[in-house]
Amino acid sequence: MAEIGATLRAARMSARIDVSEIEAKTKIRAKYLRALENEEWDLLPGPTFVRSFLRTYAQALDLDAKALVEEYRLYFERPSEAALEPIVSTPQRARGSLGVAGRSPGRPSRGYMAIVGVVVLVIVLLIVGLLSQGGGSPKATKGTAANGHVKHSGASPGAAHARTHHSPAIEKSGLASLKLEPTGEVYVCLIGDKESKRIPGLILKPGARAPTYHASRFLITLGNDEVNLIVNGTPRTVPASSKAIGYSITRSGLKPLAQGKLPTCK
């Protein structure tokens, strides 16, 4: 098994590139780059950031980013860390028939089943909360959701880059609309009107279906740039950043937030 850190260091030194040059190119702090080269995973913010930083670093050195990320997942990421990310995602391809040594693949442990039960409970509570927010609205017409925006069925989240059409009632009300399309794993805290937590600090995965939200004003914190935003029907890209990113979103558009003003869902 090739060591991840040794592979990164060897490629950088072979290209005669200093860590400071990689920092300027990737916007990843030098201490995190050195932690990747030394495989000091505990010095990094968490598994999601490790994978994101590793992918960006490998691409900057023209290495096989996908292979290095998969190697990290296989040999260094603890199963409990991946299982505790509470979001529904599309089925993933099996990583092989071999399970953990000494354990039958067909008989999951009690601890694993307990974690799955907690995740399912969180998802159910989240769905109930989302449904209750639209429970008091008038009866929706055919093809229209209860909160007043048109339902989209059959189209994948990553393909919807055309302008979204809103009902005249939504446009006249002055409400902003927001839809998220994850392109990778990304932490999201979304606050709506009256400080309601529309997405209460979850990690969204690529392919996850997200509704279109409406409010007079949103405050949002993103853990990285692995997401596209559809703001008032217009696609907006998120710039690359090694830090959390925040925006204030209204009907008039999108405004970046200073680091000290980012909303939290704690």
Tens of pLDDT, residues 255-266: 898 988 888 888
For residue 45, tell me if it sits in a domain.
yes
Q: Where residue 35 sits, what CATH number does that domain have?
A: 1.10.260.40
Which residue, of 35, 57, 83, is where some domain finishes? 83
For residue 63, tell me if it sits in a domain.
yes
- pTM more than 0.85: no
Please list, in sequence order, all residues whose beta carbon lies within 8 angstroms of the beta carbon of residue 99, skipping any fewer than 6 positions away: 105
For residue 92, tell me if it sits in a domain.
no
d(CA 38, CA 43): 10
Q: Is 139 helix (H, G, I), strand (E, B) or coil?
A: coil
For residue 125, tell me if it sits in a domain.
no
List the chain pLDDT tens, one digit each, 266 residues. 458 989 999 999 999 999 999 999 999 999 999 999 999 988 988 889 999 999 999 999 999 999 999 989 888 887 655 444 443 333 344 344 334 344 444 556 677 777 888 888 889 888 877 776 655 444 434 444 334 444 444 444 444 444 445 556 556 678 888 898 988 888 888 898 988 888 988 888 888 877 888 988 988 888 888 888 899 889 988 888 767 888 999 998 888 989 888 888 88
Q: Which amino acid is at 120?
A: V
For residue 140, tell me if it sits in a domain.
no
For residue 178, tell me if it sits in a domain.
yes
For residue 147, tell me if it sits in a domain.
no
Which residue, of 58, 83, 108, is where some domain finishes? 83
Provide the number of structural domains found in the chain.
2
* Domain containing residue 207: 155-261
Three-point CA angle 162, 203, 189, nearest 5°? 80
For residue 111, tell me if it sits in a domain.
no
Which residue, of 32, 61, 83, is where some domain finishes? 83
The pLDDT score that the predictor gives to residue 115 is 85
